[in-house]
Amino acid sequence: MSFLDTLRQWDEAVTCVDRGDLSEALRIFLSIQDPNSKICFDIGCLHLLKQELEAAEKAFDCSIRKDEHLAVAFFQRGITFYRKERQDPTPLILCPHLPRAFKALRGNQLIDYKALGLQYKLYACEVLHNMALSEAQLGNWEKAQENLVKALDFKTENKLNAIDRALQSTLKQKLFKLVEFPSKVLFKPNKNYVAELEKKDYLGKAKVVASVVPQDIFSGFAPLQPQVTDPLIVSACGCVCALLRALEGEPHTVLFEFVPETSDELAVVPGNIVFVLQKGADNWASVVFNERRGLVPYNYLERLEISLASKQNEGLSAPPTREPPTRPERKSEDSLIVKVHFTFTFAVSVPAGSTYAVLIEKISRKVNLPSDRIMLSLTAEAKDLSVIDADTDMASVWSRAGGGRITVWCHAKEVRSPQKEIHFVALHSYESLNPEDLSFHQGDTITLLSLVNQDWLEGQCNGNTGIFPAAFVEEVPPSV
């Protein structure tokens, strides 16, 4: 089966899912020969929706075999495993797939699969949450608590409450809810590839027109010959120059494939016709291609001459066989490329000599966080000398740039939003002879001051302050 056939069937199947026809979608998916890891993942998700656990296991196993780094496939395989174990009243086996999902995250807080066609973010804290539930199912409550405490190191604000509730459940030795993968969320094929599946009539219907090329009797394809529909324009003085100027920029042929590294560069392949709007002194050209503008190295292009003489009997030139020229360096006098390491890596372009406010505003938009929640640094660890803030001499920062590029690290500040005090009610009385401990009676209300570790808290009760065991109290739900 060709790639185009696979792409077409893949698109048809996800369309069936969108309209709720799961059986037809599964039939189309299963008819695909040699499916890739993403399609196998989609097949497993559909089987899981239909409660066909054995078939789901096989599909996720196939996805993992084809891509051993697909963490979300391990995660779904773990969910399937847990569901099967729940059907057994005496589970004896620990789920082996969730630890592999956590390992595939490679220490990252999350993986966003949007770029791969899956509208889903896999969080490390959720993987650890399910690992803890798997341990709790076997009665390994201490192991479950260890995984949940570890999840706190990878927490995000919107996931913190679920982890806290799970910790409270383990203290009472009660099972908690499994973090499920959202239903009907599947890998979808690249929409640009799908758009190319439609047949396009690039030539259109035949039409008699007048050529601006005098005595043009060429019967083949002449590239970019400007045409007019009014024969009177042909005889007008200077009409040829006016028509050529009407074409935006100068036409050039692309000689070599160019893969962009930043958002302001443009992807082109050999044979494309681009229009050069401006050529910079740094050998970068601003071009237009398919109504898109961007930068391309000028030494990847060759000017396309539009001759006013006949091109009769002139053959097509052979494609270039030499290696593409060296990629030109981006000069720093106009703009700088800032490579930013966050939970994901991205690049932004800022004017040379920009202020801190300009830099932080661009990065803030990229990471979707307020600027006061972000800390920038010149090293992976945000130490005093490497931190970049409003008081930093930005000239010293930009002086570190090489070849118009600089790398910085972005850290999300752990800011506890203003909220009501957290209170606990004592489940049991606690008396201690240690002066640093807090004594209280069953039913007393305790105000939380800080978290010492997973077993001990610091609080205030009846005018006294001290530490106390977390297992002796229960959090009071906040009042509405």
Residue type, 321: T
DSSP-H helix ranges across 267-355: none
Quick one: fold of 335-412? Ubiquitin-like (UB roll) (3.10.20)
Structure tokens at 17: 């899912």
Quick count: other Cβ atoms within 10 Å of Cβ 433? 6
Cite the residue boundaries of each domain of the chain with CATH code 1.25.40.10: 3-192
C-alpha 109/C-alpha 174 separation (Å) is 27
What lies within 8 Å, CB to CB, of 119 at 6+ separation is 113, 185
Provide the residue-wise pLDDT of the chain in tens; the chain has 480 residues.
677 788 888 888 989 988 888 889 899 999 998 899 999 999 999 998 888 988 988 999 999 998 888 899 999 888 888 887 776 655 556 778 888 888 888 888 888 888 888 889 898 888 998 898 888 888 888 888 888 888 888 876 666 678 888 888 888 888 888 888 887 889 988 877 777 666 555 555 555 454 444 444 444 444 444 454 444 444 444 444 444 443 458 899 999 888 887 777 888 888 899 999 988 777 889 999 887 888 999 989 998 875 544 444 444 455 555 667 776 665 544 678 888 888 777 888 888 888 999 999 989 888 888 888 888 999 888 777 888 988 889 988 998 888 788 999 998 876 555 456 889 999 988 887 677 788 899 999 999 888 877 778 888 998 888 888 888 899 888 764
C-alpha 235/C-alpha 122 separation (Å) is 67
Quick count: other Cβ atoms within 10 Å of Cβ 330? 22
Q: For residues 295 and 281, is the Cβ–Cβ distance under 8 A?
A: no
Q: What is the pTM of this model?
A: 0.44
In terms of DSSP bridges, do strands 273-279 and 250-254 run parallel, antiparallel, or are they unpaired?
antiparallel
Cite the residue boundaries of each domain of the chain with CATH code 3.10.20.90: 335-412
- CATH number belonging to the domain at 3-192, selected among 1.25.10.10, 1.10.540.10, 3.90.180.10, 1.25.40.10: 1.25.40.10
- CATH number belonging to the domain at 227-303, selected among 3.30.930.10, 3.40.50.1860, 3.90.1310.10, 2.30.30.40: 2.30.30.40
CATH number of 423-475: 2.30.30.40
Nearest one of 31, 28, 25 to 46, comparing CA atoms: 25
Q: For residues 406 and 400, is the Cβ–Cβ distance under 8 A?
A: yes
Burial of residue 368 (CB within 10 Å: 0-12, 13-18, 19+) is exposed
